[in-house]
Amino acid sequence: MLEIVLEYLPVMIKDKIQQFILLNKKLKPEIEEIRLRSSKPLILKIGQDLELIDHIVKQQEILQTFEKICENSVYSYTRQICEGYITIKGGNRVGIVGSAVLDNGRVINLNYISSLNFRIARQKIGCSNSIIKSIIDEKTKNIDNTLIVSPPGCGKTTFLRDIIRNISNGIPDIGLKGKTVGVVDERGEIAAMYKGIPQNDIGIRTDVIDNMPKPEAMKILVRSMSPDVIACDEIGSAEDIKAIDYAVCSGVKGIFTAHGSDINQIKKNIELSKLLDRHIFEKIILLNPKRRGEAKCICL
């Protein structure tokens, strides 16, 4: 994925990063972010460390890069720009900040782009294998309504993506036939669609709606794509809960994520607690914030 990102960068910046990689070959797989700030040093995020590269980023390099990620058609990407990011090839995402253009208090564009943050996409195929059996009914092989919980940055989306892939493809070893999955990818982080093609592996029986608010997207998927399972990331608003209610009452199973360190924090969310009180969720998966990839499943 890093090679794809490098193709979007100006020659000088690309060369500086490649020189750094040659001198630090063991670090290449760990590069997570490439940050370009106007008139500031080029910075690479490697694990928890920030590496300053010997290059001061010019405003012209920011604009050149911005135009390339927009494929020289900034207007076509206005909605994503207003959301603060653009998804590019390989599922990589570019964070964008600058001077906001407002219309009645609503952001309608960004001018004078000042910083770009390339986040290198990485999939962890198989990260859900150890717990997937826990959310499948042993007799019926139906998927249990499941909520994945962890603090921000602990891998909820990565875990959800791999569960979607497993459910969509099926797992013959445990008798799970592939199911039709509808994915609500409001921020483009699950499937990472690029021109209608998912850049991440989300399975062969998966339909995706991206860049649309979760409540509307869930309703459209239920009405038009007849999913067995609906999946979406970071639920919590009153509108989200109404849409989940609609989907579940339509006979569709659901797998969702939410921020929190434990069940008690979820209960403190007024809207999510309504689903818990009504026993909508059958399983909760808690991700260990201290040991990424470690998960515990709780039956409700």
Relative to beta strand 283-287, strand 295-299 is: antiparallel
Q: Is 268 exposed, middle or buried (0-12, 13-18, 19+ CB in 10 A)?
A: exposed
d(CA 118, CA 95): 6
Residue 103's DSSP bridge partners are 106
Q: Which residue has the tokens 């964070």?
A: 95
Residues 94 and 117 sit within 8 Å (Cβ to Cβ): yes
| Residue in 185, 78, 146 with CA at minimum distance from that of residue 298 | 146
Give the pLDDT confidence score for residue 290 in this predicted structure.
Answer: 67
CATH code at 2-119: 3.30.450.90
Residues 237 and 256 sit within 8 Å (Cβ to Cβ): no
Residues of the chain with CATH 3.40.50.300: 132-299
SS3 content of the chain, % helix, strand, coil (to 5): 35, 30, 35
Q: Which residue has the tokens 């060369």?
A: 15
Give the pLDDT confidence score for residue 239 in this predicted structure.
Answer: 93
Per DSSP, helices labelled H in the chain are 2-6, 11-23, 59-69, 78-83, 156-169, 214-225, 238-249, 263-268, 270-277
Give the pLDDT confidence score for residue 291 in this predicted structure.
Answer: 72
Give the pLDDT confidence score for residue 103 in this predicted structure.
Answer: 73
Residues of the chain with CATH 3.30.450.90: 2-119
Q: Give SS3 for 149.
A: strand
Class of domain 132-299: alpha beta
Give the pLDDT confidence score for residue 293 in this predicted structure.
Answer: 64
Residues 110 and 97 sit within 8 Å (Cβ to Cβ): yes
- Write out the chain's pLDDT in tens, 300 residues: 788 999 999 999 999 999 998 888 766 557 889 999 999 999 999 877 899 999 999 999 999 999 999 988 888 888 888 888 888 888 888 999 988 777 777 767 777 889 999 998 878 899 999 899 999 988 898 999 999 998 887 888 999 999 999 999 999 988 999 999 999 998 888 998 888 899 899 999 999 999 888 999 999 999 999 999 999 999 989 999 999 999 998 999 999 999 888 888 888 888 888 888 888 899 999 998 767 667 888 786
